[in-house]
Amino acid sequence: MAELIRIYPENPNPKEIQKAVKILKNGGLVIYPTDTVYGLGCDITNIKALERIARIKQVKLEKANFSFICEDLSNLSDYVKQIDTATFKILKRALPGPYTFVLPGAKSLPHPFKKRNTVGIRVPDNSIAIALVNALGNPIVSTSIRDEDDVIEYTTDPELIYEKWDHLVDLVIDGGYGDNEASTVIDLSEDIPTIIREGKGSLEIF
């Protein structure tokens, strides 16, 4: 069974953040808040944890459309091919924020993602998510917590999420009610930006 802990976004408790990071480093799965919907994440360097998420989502790991949750844009070159100035300006303008950017994948991607041409990069505007990535020292591979109910789509109440997921994950972080709208997904891997999914983020900044 998973553990449920409360972390306040105004001032994330370092002790609780470290507890979550220890679970991530040991190959655990953590559900955590973002600036959009709640996410299910694991350490990008832990193959067994990545495989667990893929099994839960019923997809092949090599083909899964998971996002890389980053603290900022500083280590982007570890996961993304060199990008031009115009692309970087878009990222700088939009992040941190409710956007997922699809970018050309670097050759140095972790093993399961080696064959991927593109990766999804997220820098959420959420202090808990950023504190987790900062303490972990590398990105969290993440996917949204969807609901089977197509009308609801995303569960916003962390206690309800805990009830549903407690046998599948190792920790649920209650960071308050989540949003019920996913991120806006924009493909920047080609010359012209393409909107793949219109979500919470405004398109006016583009």
Residue 149 pLDDT exceeds 80 = no
Q: How confident is the model at residue 25 (pLDDT cuts 50, 70, 90)?
A: very high
Least confident of 41-50, 64-73, 106-115, 180-189: 106-115
What is the CATH architecture assignment of 3-197?
A: Alpha-Beta Complex (3.90)
Question: pLDDT at position 147, please?
Answer: 79
Model confidence pLDDT, tens digit, residues 155-168: 999 999 999 999 99
Question: pLDDT at position 38, please?
Answer: 97
> Mean pLDDT score of the chain, rounded to an integer?
94
The pairing of beta strand 99-104 with beta strand 3-6: unpaired
Question: pLDDT at position 58, please?
Answer: 93
Beta bridge partners of 41: 30, 142
pLDDT over 70 for what percent of the chain? 100
Q: How confident is the model at residue 200 (pLDDT cuts 50, 70, 90)?
A: very high
Amino acid identity at 177: Y
Residue 184 pLDDT exceeds 80 = yes
- Number of residues written out for the chain: 206
Instruction: Compute the distance between CA of residue 109 and CA of residue 10 in angstroms, rounded to an integer.
Output: 33
Question: pLDDT at position 139, please?
Answer: 97
Interhelix angle 14-25/127-136, nearest 10 degrees: 50
Question: pLDDT at position 115, please?
Answer: 84
User: Residue range 8-22: average pLDDT?
Assistant: 97
Burial (CB count within 10 angstroms: exposed 0-12, middle 13-18, buried 19+), residue 116: middle
Residue 169 pLDDT exceeds 90 = yes
The two three-digit tokens of residue 42, written as one number: 């694991």
Model confidence pLDDT, tens digit, residues 107-144: 888 888 888 899 999 999 999 999 999 999 999 999 99
Q: Chain centroid to CA 198: how far?
A: 17
The pTM of this model reads: 0.96
Model confidence pLDDT, tens digit, residues 77-102: 999 999 999 999 999 999 999 999 99
The two three-digit tokens of residue 157, written as one number: 């109440």
Who contacts 74 (Cβ-Cβ below 8 Å, separation ≥6)?
none
